[in-house]
Structure 1
Amino acid sequence: MHPIIAFYSGQGTDHRGRTLSGILAFSNNELESCHDYIQWLFPLRDPSPYNPEAPVINAEVIDAFHSSHELQSRLHQSLLRMLQFYGIVMRETPQGFELLIPADVDNYHWMTPDNHNHRRISRMLASLKILGLDAHVTAFWQGLQKLAVAHPAAISSATVTHWRLAAMGLDSPL
């Protein structure tokens, strides 16, 4: 079984012996200071230069996520936890999903130019797109666009471009 499928199925761990549920239970401080879990929560086709221990996904993994409600549900939970970390809420609507961004988001730790969390967001968008959570990507991208317009000093145009490409499935971010 591919390591990502085992990890998301609850039958395996990451390279440090952590389970998906264990990582999702991290405190916000742990999510901020630890840098080798994001590649497991949101895997991509290309190796990560930041975590060479993280596996890359292939057609087997992509097909498994596209065909398994359980895997997609757990990926959805990973997204919700990371959004909570960013102070953002995603809610389901009759039309799909919607991002709710608090008015004081400009005071959040990641709302600074070139913050490493901007790269994490790129990875999240790209992974969600590849693994079949298109409605989530659409809502996430729409919310990020609004955020970028409202806070241009914190989110550069280069970051917005990177996010757009990732949301379109045209970029494989770090």
Structure 2
Amino acid sequence: MGQIFGIESDDEESDTRNVRFYRGEIKSKPWPGKNIDKMLSWYGNYDKLEDNHQYIQWLFPIPERSRSNSSAQRLYVHEAQAIKVDEELQGKVVQAYRMMLDFYGLRLVNPIDGAVSRNRENWEERFHHLNRSQHNYLRITRIITSLGELGFERYQSPLVMKLMEEGVVHRTLPNTVRSAMRYWIDAIKDQNERTELKRRYETLTRHTVPPGNQSNGISKDSDVKLDECVEATEIS
């Protein structure tokens, strides 16, 4: 069985439910379902995004079948290719990504290279929520994986790097460091980028308190960056 970009290539060519969903032609499942525009209208509705567990699989499809939503459609190679070459559908992927970043207290700074930063308007409240909401760690793994399949591989590392910076350097997301960070790194498609991020992660986590941080409390100063901290620990 051959694979293309991690997606099985001997799939059903007639099955295009993910593409049709992204085009607004069908609703998600299970019944009654929602169309994509309805889901994207939930931007900023944190209760809706938290409590509904059947939208994330449709907004961010991946090759593996979902354990939490058996009605969701796995992503086939021809669907991924169709979404990659359609400018309108690519825009919807970015729109969905922006919505989830906002939900997690982040924002997309540069849609070209995928740079991510804190959302100044809500990061403290949303980080507090994310730090104690482990089911969202699974969602983030799905998002990272899906981005790599839908033409946004360049978005993967910047997101993981920012989460690592917040979790390890600033200690704003300490619960993610041991429980989720390795899964997020492993979800990155490019092997060289995975290897580099694993190196940075291992370098940082060898030190109980990374340079530039206090051991007690949350650092509200985001000036200390991941690369600077890695360099400092390697020199020391």
Same fold, judged at TM 0.5 (above): yes
2:184 alignment partner, one of 150, 163, 171:
163
Answer with 17-26 or 34-43: which moved more. 17-26
Structure having greater relative contact order (Cα 8 Å, sep ≥ 6): 1
Distance 1:37 1:81 in 2: 12
Distance 2:99 2:182 in 1: 24
Distance 1:139 1:13 in 2: 31
Which blocks of at least 5 consecutive residues in structure 2 are unaligned? 1-14, 192-236
What's the CA shift string for 1:106-129, capped at 9, x where partnerless?
A: 7531112x6111110000000001
Residue equivalent to 2:83: 65
Residue equivalent to 2:36: 20
2:93 alignment partner, one of 75, 79, 88:
75
Which blocks of at least 5 consecutive residues in structure 1 are unaligned? none
Shift of 1:92: 1.3
The alignment partner of 2:74 has SS state of coil
1:8 alignment partner, one of 22, 31, 38:
22
Residue equivalent to 1:108: 128
Identity among equivalent positions (%) equals 25
Answer with 152-161 or 58-67: which moved more. 152-161
Amino acid at match of 2:46: N
After TM superposition, the score normalised by the length of structure 2 is 0.65
Amino acid at match of 1:166: A
Shift of 1:91: 1.4
Larger gyration radius, structure 1 or structure 2: 2
Q: What CA RMSD, in Å, does the superposition of the two structures yield over aligned residues?
A: 2.1
Amino acid at match of 1:5: V
Shift of 1:41: 0.7
Answer with 139-148 or 72-81: which moved more. 139-148
Pairing of 1:120-131 with structure 2 (within 5 A): 120-131=139-150
Q: Which runs of 4+ in 1 moved over 6 A?
A: none
Q: Are 1:56 and 2:74 counterparts? A: yes
> Would the aligned equivalents of 1:130 and 1:169 in 2 still touch at CA under 8 Å?
no
What's the CA shift string for 1:143-163, capped at 9, x where partnerless?
A: 112122122632132410000
The alignment partner of 1:92 has SS state of coil
Flag the 1:132–1:32 CA change in 2: closer, same or farther, 3 A. Answer: same
> Would the aligned equivalents of 2:105 and 2:124 in 1 still touch at CA under 8 Å?
no
Distance 1:12 1:153 in 2: 40
Amino acid at match of 1:49: R
